[in-house]
């Protein structure tokens, strides 16, 4: 200490050096604290951005699934509607293009579903496709005979007794082969005698009646199978979209003043 008392200028220089060193050390420590805090803030910001991006991705995927699943189910029903028209209106060639277009639209929606939906729904959609294809083939091949038979069935209740009697004879020829001794040509004439039934339609209907399973059995079976497969697809879609889960709105956030 006496040395510093005898040399005050050295003591002053030492004090100044210590002050500078202390300041530098404080600056380094402060900078390190700030850097660590900055990194934490940056990491928190990155995590928040990742969570937000993931939430957006999930929301977008859910919306895409909802849209594609609904459109696929509707496209399958559109094909079925055209097939039903074969039986309700008959086949005059005007349904070929609507059936083709509806089928192509259904297949496109099925491919889109494959890209966004879980495998559970993709498999359910595949079963719908197979069932609708079978029903479509039946409608294309037997829709005309189905329409003819529907016409005969309706005429059974005709107020015109002659028309009703003709329809009953045709129905008997179709279902039971007609009275004993009634040959094919006689049965054909009985069916063709019904008002609104051509000979070609009568031949087709009689052919279907002689080669089971009959068109009406195929029709009912096909329709029932399509509806069952569609119900299964809807159930799978609801499971994917968690339709049974209650959605509770989040309370508004409270900002501190």
The fraction of the chain above a pLDDT of 70, given in percent, is: 66
Instruction: Tell me the average pLDDT of the chain.
Output: 78
What pLDDT is recorded for position 185?
Answer: 86
| Chain-centroid distance, C-alpha 157 | 42
User: Quick check: 195 and 163 in contact, CB under 8 A?
Assistant: yes
What pLDDT is recorded for position 209?
Answer: 76
Which of 36-45, 127-136, 182-191, 236-245 has the least mean pLDDT? 36-45
- Higher per-residue confidence, 211 vs 230: 230
* pTM of the predicted protein model: 0.68
Listed residue (127, 119, 136, 134) closest to 230, CA to CA: 127
Q: Is the pLDDT of residue 100 over 90?
A: yes
Q: Is the pLDDT of residue 146 over 50?
A: yes
Q: Give the CB-side neighbour count of residue 67, counting CA atoms within 13 A.
A: 9
User: Quick check: 112 and 68 in contact, CB under 8 A?
Assistant: yes
DSSP string, 181-242: T--HHHHHHHHHTSTT--HHHHHHHHHHHHSSSPHHHHHHHHHHHHHHHHHHHHHHHHHHHT
Q: Is the pLDDT of residue 200 over 80?
A: yes
- Higher per-residue confidence, 67 vs 58: 67
Q: Is the pLDDT of residue 215 over 60?
A: yes
The reply to whether omega before 213 is within 30° of 0 (cis) is yes
The CA distances from residue 1 to 11, 14, 57, in Å, are: 9, 13, 73
What pLDDT is recorded for position 221?
Answer: 85
With 0-12 / 13-18 / 19 or more C-beta atoms within 10 angstroms meaning exposed / middle / buried, residue 168 is middle
Q: Which parts of 90-198 fold into alpha helices (H)? A: 96-116, 119-155, 161-176, 184-192
CA separation for the pair 119, 128 (Å, rounded) = 14
Domain limits, the chain: 68-241
């Amino acid at each position: 200490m006496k040395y510093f008392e005898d040399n005050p200028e050295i003591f002053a220089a030492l004090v100044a050096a210590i002050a500078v060193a202390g300041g530098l050390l404080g600056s380094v420590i402060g900078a390190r604290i700030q850097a660590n805090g900055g990194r934490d803030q940056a990491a928190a910001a990155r995590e928040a951005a990742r969570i937000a991006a993931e939430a957006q991705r999930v929301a977008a995927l859910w919306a895409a699934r909802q849209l594609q699943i609904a459109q696929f189910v509707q496209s399958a029903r559109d094909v079925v509607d055209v097939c039903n028209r074969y039986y309700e209106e008959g086949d005059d060639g005007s349904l070929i293009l609507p059936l083709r277009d509806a089928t192509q639209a259904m297949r496109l929606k099925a491919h889109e579903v494959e890209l966004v939906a879980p495998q559970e729904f993709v498999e359910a959609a595949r079963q719908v496709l197979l069932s609708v294809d079978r029903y479509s083939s039946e409608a294309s091949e037997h829709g005309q005979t189905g329409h003819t038979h529907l016409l005969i069935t309706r005429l059974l209740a005709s107020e015109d007794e002659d028309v009703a009697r003709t329809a009953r004879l045709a129905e008997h020829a179709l279902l039971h082969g007609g009275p004993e001794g009634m040959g094919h040509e006689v049965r054909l004439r009985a069916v063709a005698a019904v008002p609104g039934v051509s000979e070609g339609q009568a031949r087709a209907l009689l052919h279907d009646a002689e080669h089971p399973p009959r068109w009406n059995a195929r029709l009912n079976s096909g329709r029932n199978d399509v509806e069952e497969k569609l119900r299964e697809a809807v159930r799978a879609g609801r499971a994917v979209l968690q339709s049974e889960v209650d959605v509770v709105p989040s309370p508004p956030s409270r900002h501190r003043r």
